[in-house]
Homo-oligomer: A and B are copies of this chain.
Amino acid sequence: MSNRAARTALKIPAVARGKRMANGKARAPEGDGEIGLDGLLGHAGYAVRRFQIWIFQDFVRTLAAVDIKPTQYSVLTVIGANPGLSQMAVAQRLGIERARLVHLLDSLEDRKLVRRVRSRTDRRSHALHLSARGEASLRQFKLLAAEHERHVAEKIGKENREQLLRILSSFT
């Protein structure tokens, strides 16, 4: 088993207890077949986490051709809807950190989708705008995002999706 020296020494008493195996193929030591989740089933957090992973993967897959990830999409959308916002305003509206947004904008600016314009009223801050190319691109991104949203509806059901949006509306 190669070297287990990395782990802090903790001798394992070889007390492997009752282990009724009934595995047909090449399965794990425990042949329960179905693995119960016990308490986890009642936890909203677990389900939400799994769902969020699925939904992000589908988003990334659907927008892979344009190489736009969820966070980038959210930034572009907010800037598009509110031109002239400062980085601070965008960051706190989306719940992103200033420091993180810097890199996101660096990337989007390199791709010439966004422009940082120095504000004259407050020369510390940048007024964020979509470039002409950015606006055109965003329109395309929104079409793909809508397609992704249809995937979600297919996955959990049209009505369930709407209900879910309603339930979580307070987290805008």
Binding site for B on A (CB under 8 A): 1, 7-8, 10, 12-17, 19, 21, 27-30, 32, 35-56, 59, 70, 74, 77-78, 80-86, 88-89, 93, 95, 106, 109-110, 112, 115-122, 124-125, 127, 129, 142, 145, 148-149, 152, 155-157, 160-161, 163-165, 167-172
Contact = CB atoms under 8 A, between A and B. Distances in A.
A39 to B, nearest CB: 5
Nearest to A171: B50
Contact of A142 (B16, B39, B81, B163): B39
B127 A16 contact: yes
Nearest to A155: B170
B38 A77 contact: yes
Contact of A16 (B19, B120, B156): B120
Nearest to A21: B121
Contacts of A89: 27-28, 30, 35
A95 B42 contact: no
5 contacts: A36-B81, A40-B74, A44-B161, A47-B171, A48-B52
B12 A171 contact: no
Nearest to A38: B81
Nearest to A149: B43
A45 B145 CA distance: 10
Contacts of A7: 106, 109-110
Contacts of A85: 28-30, 32, 35
